[in-house]
Amino acid sequence: MRTLIAGGTVVNATGAQVADVLVEDERVVALAAPGSGPAAAFAEGAERVDAAGRLVVPGAVDVHTHMEMPFGGTRSADTFETGTRAAAWGGTTTVVDFAIQRKGEALRQGLDAWHAKAEGNCSIDYGFHMIVSDVNDQSCKEMDVLVGEGVSSFKLFMAYPGVFYSTDGDILRAMQQARASGATVMMHAENGIAIDVLVSQALSRGETDPRFHGLTRPDLLEAEATRRAIALAKVAGAPVYIVHLSTTGALQAVAEARSEGQNAFAETCPQYLFLSAADLAREGFEGAKYVCSPPLRAPEHQAHLWRGLRTDDLSVVSTDHCPFCFKEQKELGLGDFSKIPNGIPGVEHRVDLTYQGVVAGELGLPRWVEVNATTPARMFGLYPKKGVLAPGSDADIVIYNPAASQTISAATHHMDVDYSAYEGKAITGRVETVFSRGRVVIDGGRYVGQKGHGRFLPRKTNDYLK
Ligand code: URP
Ligand code: ZN
Ligand code: ZN
């Protein structure tokens, strides 16, 4: 099966050029000057897709999703079927989700459970990180085994005492093991012990509204935990990747470590670039829609996060997609903000939202591709199969109309959740066509993919280790 994607502006992290993309079966075989000899020869017998006036970019790689995640007394609303379909609608062709080891369980148990949820249900390719919530001799041994199976990154939590929380000692041990196994530690960096004190003090004062979720998780406690995580990683000699970074202080900690040559990396998410504490303080219980951790911050942080994306102190934009319906799920926290399940839906809108950064002059086109696709692929061992349009790479391709306009709404999105955090937001740009390994999944406003097409991706280790 051959497809010629003709005449679009092909954008990779290295630059943009008008080119034809030649696809055979599941792979890109060449980029050629439009109408050149090789392109013309290839065109015979090939399906031709006209991409003139469009951007042709590598399928985006979202390295932070939570499908069907048991959390806060419920489970995140998207299954692997609905979540990966929504991802495809938004131009994401790979997700890396978090399998969970519960306390008292083996890593293997958690990983097997996540394989069972995903297998046969995904429209796009997928991989797993592993959440380690019980660090002991056995789980350290298993970390090494899992790296051999292509699960080469492990998330630990300085937040959520009693659930996922690890002590500094546990974290150090896991980091030492990560160093020995060649793995990357991903860190949820918030001081959960101090936060729990602030939460119970707030509740005892009768402060129960959603906005107190933000007020009891001050940005200083993210900055402090980020510095501590980086220090622990330095002692262990392990790479550390700070997930869902939301504040200027935490960014500063990452930037300092990077300038000293430490293998310290960080991501941010669209909610921290576009939403703020004012959303958390919306009228009535509306703010519950915006409860996530770390919480949405004062708008002053946003300019610093955009700067971090330009300087590469923030290397990746992921979504932390963790959707809970407003009805019945977010409502679990009526009268007690600490019972609102934490998380925001977003897997469908990362490419479009970050494109607004291109429109506003915050990011250039190649950097847009780099933070959404190339760097996440390299950071998590998927490159050059994913994250680039080059001979031999998977034909995960998005044809993007940079001039289209759309309005985000729960009425039109494809995530299985009853609200949008970006309801009514007007957007420039739109995903038109999406290929996953050479197969069309989204065709100009129609889903034509198939659940079960998506395959598990065993991942190599981090490409950026110095
Ligand atoms: O609020 C969030 N971020 N929910 C998902 C779990 C996590 O900590 O990433
Ligand atoms: Zn987290
Ligand atoms: Zn998360």
What are the pLDDT tens digits along the chain (466 aa)?
Answer: 999 999 999 999 999 999 999 999 999 999 999 989 989 999 999 999 999 999 999 999 999 999 999 999 999 999 999 999 999 999 999 999 999 999 999 999 999 999 999 999 999 999 999 999 999 999 999 999 999 999 999 999 999 999 999 999 999 999 999 999 999 999 999 999 999 999 999 999 999 999 999 999 999 999 999 999 999 999 999 999 999 999 999 999 999 999 999 999 999 999 999 999 999 999 999 999 999 999 999 999 999 999 999 999 999 999 999 999 999 999 999 999 999 999 999 999 999 999 999 999 999 999 999 999 999 999 999 999 999 999 999 999 999 999 999 999 999 999 999 999 999 999 999 999 999 999 999 999 999 999 999 999 999 999 999 7
Cα 457–chain centre separation? 16
Residues 6+ apart with CB under 8 A from 258: 264, 265, 312, 313
How remote is the CA of residue 176 from the centroid of ligand 3, in Å? 23
- Residue 268: both structure tokens together: 């941010």
Q: What was the pLDDT predicted at 200?
A: 98
CB 321 within 8 A of CB 68: no
Query: CA–CA distance from 308 to each of 149, 247, 368 (Å)?
Result: 33, 11, 13
Q: How many residues appear in the chain? A: 466
**346 ligand 1 Cβ < 6 A:** no
Are 86 and 414 a contacting pair, CB within 8 Å?
Answer: yes
Tokens 């003090």 sit on residue:
201
Contact 179, 237 (CB under 8 A): yes
Closest CA to 190 of 154, 216, 163, 226: 226
Whole-model pTM above 0.95? yes
CA distance 359 to 102: 43
Nearest CA to ligand 1 atom 4: 343
**C-alpha of residue 345 to centroid of ligand 2, in Å:** 14
**pLDDT (tens digit, 9 = 90+) per residue, 335-360?**
999 999 999 999 999 999 999 999 99
Ligand 1 atom 3: the closest Cα is on which residue? 293
Residue 406: which H helix or E strand, with range?
strand 397-407
Q: Is the CB of 267 under 6 A from ligand 1?
A: no
The 8-class DSSP code of residue 423 comes to: T
For ligand 1, what atom is nearest to the CA of residue 159?
Answer: 8
Residue 179: how many CB atoms within 10 A of its CB? 16
Q: What is the pLDDT of residue 446?
A: 98
Which atom of ligand 1 is the closest one to the Cα of 98? 9
Q: What share of the chain is helix, strand, coil (3-state, %, to 5)?
A: 35, 25, 40
Radius of gyration (C-alpha) of the chain in whole angstroms: 21
Give the model's pLDDT for residue 466: 72
Does the CB atom of residue 297 touch ligand 1 within 6 A? no
Write out the two tokens for 211.
């906005």
Tell me if 343 CB under 6 Å of ligand 1: yes
Ligand 1 contact via 155 beta carbon (within 6 Å):
no
pLDDT, position 35: 85
The pair of three-digit structure tokens given for residue 3, joined into one six-digit string: 């497809």
Residue 202 parent element (H or E)? helix 192-204
Nearest to 93 by CA among 424, 461, 423, 350: 350
Residue minimizing CA distance to atom 5 of ligand 1: 343
Nearest to 315 by CA among 232, 237, 234, 379: 379
Question: Is ligand 1 within 6 A of the CB of residue 330?
Answer: no
Distance, in Å, from the CA atom of 85 to the CA atom of 92, rounded to the nearest integer, reads 9
